[in-house]
Amino acid sequence: MAATWSINQLDYTVSLDSKTNVVNNIHWDCTDADADGNQGRTYGSQGIPTDDLSDFINYSDITEANAIAWVKAALGDDGVSDQEAAVAAQIAVLKTPVSGSGSPWAA
């Protein structure tokens, strides 16, 4: 299993330091699934620093890979590991449940 990161949406400032559509927040998902179809997911919104625009990429040229790299950089190695571990933990609980609920008479 390897976690997959994806981007749902970019938020941007329309004009900043003579640049247009400067990304300042990214909505992301981190997902994974095992061979049995058990799935885990974390999601969030990560602010992106805009104080240094020396590596600015025009909005129309941003790829999902760029956005994922920005999210991971903002989260840091520990933050990325924490999200991926949370997804793996969800899958582990699905494989080996620790609690349950139901109505046995309705079966």
Residue 84 φ then ψ, to 5°: -65, -35
Domain ranges of the chain: 4-95
Amino acid making up residue 56: F
Per residue in 36-51, pLDDT (tens digit) is 999 999 999 999 999 9
Q: What pTM, to 2 d.p., does this model score?
A: 0.89
Share of the chain above pLDDT 70, in %: 98
Give the tokens for residue 35: 């061979």
State the Cα–Cα distance between residues 45 and 86, nearest whole angstrom. Answer: 16
Look at residue 26 in the predicted model and tell me its pLDDT: 98
State the Cα–Cα distance between residues 22 and 42, nearest whole angstrom. Answer: 25
pLDDT band at residue 106, thresholds of 50, 70 and 90?
confident
Give the tokens for residue 77: 């190695």
Q: Please choose, from the candidates 99, 98, 104, 94, the residue with its C-alpha nearest in 3D space to the C-alpha of residue 37.
A: 94
